[in-house]
Amino acid sequence: MSDIRCGLIGYSLGWEQHGRRHGTYINSTDGMKLAAVCDINPEARSKARSDFPGVETYKTPDDLLDDGDIDLVSILTPHHLHFPLALAALEAGKHVVVEKPMCFTVEQADTLFETADTRGGTVTTFFNRRRDGNFLAIEEIVRLGEIGDLRDVRLVSESRGLHENHWRNVKSRSGGLLYNSLGAHAFDWVLRLLAGQRVLNVVGVAVPAQERDLNELHTRAWLRFDSGALADVTISRMSLTGQPLWQISGTEGTIIDTGKNATANYLYPFPVTAEAPGSFMVRKLEDGQVGERVVKYSDSAWGKYYSDLASHLAGDGPEPVTSRDSRRVVAVMEAVEESVRSGSPELVDGE
């Protein structure tokens, strides 16, 4: 079978280098090849040609989508463009990977999935941070039942100031603070840890920015599940309290993880798999005393997303992120945003 020829729409020149990351993962995957890059910025197109000699470059998305040799398109643009570009790619007969968040609303998500079904294509979200070494190790502890049934899942992501990419600070383009940084990944993580449980409702609060159309300074969301479990997600660009990334309590114990070194080796040269040189603490009550055990992080495996996608497109396995998983994250974030506006708990579409 011939290689799946891939194109990127958007090629970041910032420190994140999303285009170079995706291109490296693609070219590291058997059966895939990076063939084209689209960016309106001529410097970005020049950088793409330098990073990937021989790659075709286009100035507009329409030019890339008109290339009949492209089988799969990854959308790496500012968030407000994800939905229209993903829809256009599906309608052009391409398979589609969308950087998180897939889109802003459940209505948009459903349109993408319905179009993919009609066209016989695949559309999926790039939730590669499921493969962070710390999260893989946490998932395994939870799966083994070492801390019992989960009851309280807390995640805190703190930073200070504005992002270097201006569009990420603008609510109309980024979607808001929840859609940036770890926001979408955080809800994906929480829903995976509490898999099989239904979200009864959500509550969201936010500290608005003083400047017009800038993202919130601080957001917090509570998710209540039918098992009685509660998830508490804080994303802040004003807090520096030093709280752990994860505090996960079950009926038999607690996981405490600072998240330090969870993304070691995440940046260039963008290895498909890499050591995550960190650990977290598991605390349990044993014979009336609090016992502690250190658990080392698993190896991270960010680039395996594309190998799983290649297997799926070859008819050998599920999507790396299912449509249900993508839709649930969008639905939860939309409900949290609505709760911030209404000041009341909100139901989550599809739960």
Across the beta sheet with 123-126, the strand order is: 56-58, 32-38, 4-9, 72-75, 95-99, 123-126
129-303+331-342: CATH architecture: 2-Layer Sandwich (3.30)
Q: How far apart are CA 131 and CA 31, in angstroms?
A: 21
In angstroms, the CA 109 to CA 24 distance is 27
Question: 3-class DSSP state for residue 327?
Answer: helix
Does the pLDDT value for residue 75 go beyond 90? yes
Residue 44 pLDDT > 90, yes or no? yes
Burial class (CB in 10 A: 0-12, 13-18, 19+), 109: buried
Q: What is the mean pLDDT of residues 296-318?
A: 97
Span 128-160, pLDDT tens digits: 999 999 999 999 999 999 999 999 999 999 988
pLDDT, mean over the chain: 96
The CATH architecture one would assign to domain 4-126 is 3-Layer(aba) Sandwich (3.40)
Q: Is the pLDDT of residue 59 over 90?
A: yes
pLDDT, tens digit (0-9, with 9 covering 90-100), for 227-263: 999 999 999 999 889 999 999 999 999 999 999 999 9
What are the beta bridge partners of residue 37?
Answer: 8, 57
Would you state the pLDDT for residue 164?
A: 83
Average pLDDT over residues 10-39: 95
For residue 237, give the DSSP letter: S
> Length of the chain, please?
351
**Quick check: 169 pLDDT over 80?**
yes
Q: Give the integer Cα–Cα distance in Å for 176 and 194.
A: 25
pLDDT of 70 higher than 80: yes
Q: How many CA atoms lie within 13 A of 125 on its CB side?
A: 26
> What letter would DSSP give residue 190?
H
What is the per-residue pLDDT for 235?
Answer: 96
Question: Does residue 191 carry a pLDDT above 70?
Answer: yes
What mean pLDDT do residues 276-302 have?
95
Residue 181's pLDDT band (boundaries 50, 70, 90)? confident
* Predicted pLDDT at 162: 85
Q: How far apart are CA 238 and CA 220, in angstroms?
A: 13
What's the pLDDT score for residue 13?
85
Give the start-to-end residue ranges of the domains of the chain: 4-126, 129-303+331-342
At residue 280, the pLDDT reads 98
pLDDT above 70 (res 1): no
Q: Are 168 and 237 in contact (CB under 8 A)?
A: no
pTM score:
0.97
Both tokens of 37, joined, read 């890059």
pLDDT higher than threshold 70 for residue 350? yes
Residue type, 113: F
- Give residue 286's pLDDT: 86
- Mean pLDDT over 96-121 rounds to 98
Tokens 């398979």 map to which residue? 95
> Measured between alpha carbons, how far is 82 from 9 in angstroms, rounded to an integer?
10
